[in-house]
């Protein structure tokens, strides 16, 4: 079916729901819960990480909500948002049932940090999620921020500071695949090792073929257009991304780093980078939702 504004019946809050137009009853799908960053909304996230463009090829179901808290800027905070996300997952899993072969949390910036918190502290998500895609939302085994990283101030508005993440996490406490995707100008450097890869006994990282895009992403921080910087992000443009994978992880878990060269925090993902990330997610092992349903039967 085409994109719809689905409704969380327990709260009355709407969210975007996308799935393949020609989806057949019982056909396998990968479910992605896609969370925007601080100060943003679900519509922006759909353009920043345009998985909807891949939903037919990769048989995706994508839920993209908006946080409720709007002051001082829209962020995922508090029990109301957490419960809303629970409700969305229950709705999707109830609608598609055993057809959901895997479930991923994907989040940009504060949405990525929220994903990490939920996977560290919330038994509901620990039991159901098969993977976490961090879109500039923190790396397990942190990648140090580039010096001076942060949003340029806007005239007449108080300075906005990037949300702080404690050096130790919170990191997920669950059995997960993990992909860290980031702009080159956001970090000082990409670590050559990964504690998550060590946890799963994976081998040293391997460089995979670069992803080359001749088309730009779909969106950027228009509020700072003309006054931004490379770390925060400029206008969308074509590019190249490096892909690093830690092979032979136990259980077939996927652990990878993707660095978008000459990009920052807010340029929307280019089409081939988006396709590559989605293909990696779909190929990774799943099964948690089905196992949970089987135990409950």
Beta carbons within 10 angstroms of residue 12's beta carbon: 7
Q: Domain for residue 150, yes or no?
A: no
User: Is 155 a member of any domain?
Assistant: no
Residue 42: inside a domain, yes or no?
yes
Is residue 221 a part of any domain in this protein? yes
* Confidence bin at 70 (pLDDT 50/70/90): confident
Residue 63 falls inside a structural domain: yes
Find how far residue 42's CA is from the centre of its chain: 12
Residue count of the chain? 297
Write the secondary structure of 134-172 as one string of H (helix), E (strand) and C (coil): EECCCCCCCCCECCCCCCCCCCCCCCCCCCCCCCCCCCC
Counted domains in the chain: 1
- Residue 173: CB atoms within 10 A of its CB come to 13
Helix (H, G, I), strand (E, B) or coil at 105: strand
Tell whether the model's pLDDT for residue 2 goes beyond 60.
Answer: no
3-state secondary structure of 225: coil
Q: What is the pLDDT of residue 103?
A: 98
Mean pLDDT of 36-49: 95
The two tokens of residue 79 are 């029990």
pLDDT digits over 97-111, tens only? Answer: 999 999 999 999 999
Cis peptide before 44 (omega within 30 of 0): no
Give per-residue pLDDT as tens, 110-153: 999 999 999 999 999 999 999 999 999 999 988 999 998 989 98
- Read off the CATH number of the domain in which 183 is found: 3.40.50
pLDDT at 1: 41
Per-residue pLDDT for 164 more than 90?
A: no
Q: Per-residue pLDDT tens for 230-280?
A: 999 999 999 999 999 999 999 999 999 999 999 999 999 999 999 999 999
163 lies in a domain? no
pLDDT of residue 32: 98
State residue 216's pLDDT score. 98
Q: Which residues lie across from 30 on neighbouring strands?
A: 60, 102
Mean pLDDT of 35-62: 96
Other Cβ atoms less than 10 A from the Cβ of 204: the count is 11
- Determine the structural domain holding residue 10 and report its residue range: 4-143+168-296
Residue 252 lies in a domain: yes
- Let me know if residue 177 belongs to a domain: yes
């Amino acid at each position: 079916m085409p994109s719809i504004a689905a409704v969380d019946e327990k709260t009355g809050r709407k969210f975007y729901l996308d799935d393949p137009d020609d989806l057949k009853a019982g056909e396998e799908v990968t479910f992605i819960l896609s969370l925007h960053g601080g100060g943003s909304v679900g519509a922006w996230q759909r353009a920043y990480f345009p998985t909807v463009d891949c939903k037919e090829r990769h048989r995706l179901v994508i839920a993209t909500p908006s946080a409720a808290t709007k002051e001082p800027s829209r962020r995922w905070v508090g029990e109301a948002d957490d419960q809303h996300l629970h409700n969305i997952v229950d709705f999707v899993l109830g609608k598609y049932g055993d057809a959901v072969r895997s479930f991923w949390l994907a989040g940009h910036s504060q949405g990525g940090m929220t994903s990490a918190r939920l996977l560290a502290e919330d038994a509901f998500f620990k039991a159901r999620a098969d993977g976490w895609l961090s879109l500039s939302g923190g790396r397990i085994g942190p990648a140090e921020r580039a010096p001076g990283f942060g949003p340029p101030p806007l005239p007449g508005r108080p300075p906005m500071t990037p949300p702080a993440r404690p050096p130790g996490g919170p990191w997920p406490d669950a059995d997960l695949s993990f992909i860290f995707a980031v702009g080159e100008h956001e970090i000082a450097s990409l670590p050559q090792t990964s504690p998550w890869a060590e946890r799963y006994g994976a081998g040293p990282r391997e460089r995979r073929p670069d992803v080359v895009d001749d088309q730009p992403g779909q969106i950027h921080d228009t509020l700072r257009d003309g006054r931004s910087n490379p770390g925060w992000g400029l206008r969308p443009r074509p590019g190249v991304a490096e892909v690093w994978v830690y092979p032979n992880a136990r259980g077939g878990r996927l652990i990878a780093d993707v660095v978008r060269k000459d990009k920052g925090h807010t340029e929307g993902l280019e089409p081939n980078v988006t396709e590559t990330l989605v293909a990696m997610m779909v190929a990774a092992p799943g099964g948690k939702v089905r196992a949970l349903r089987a135990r409950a039967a």
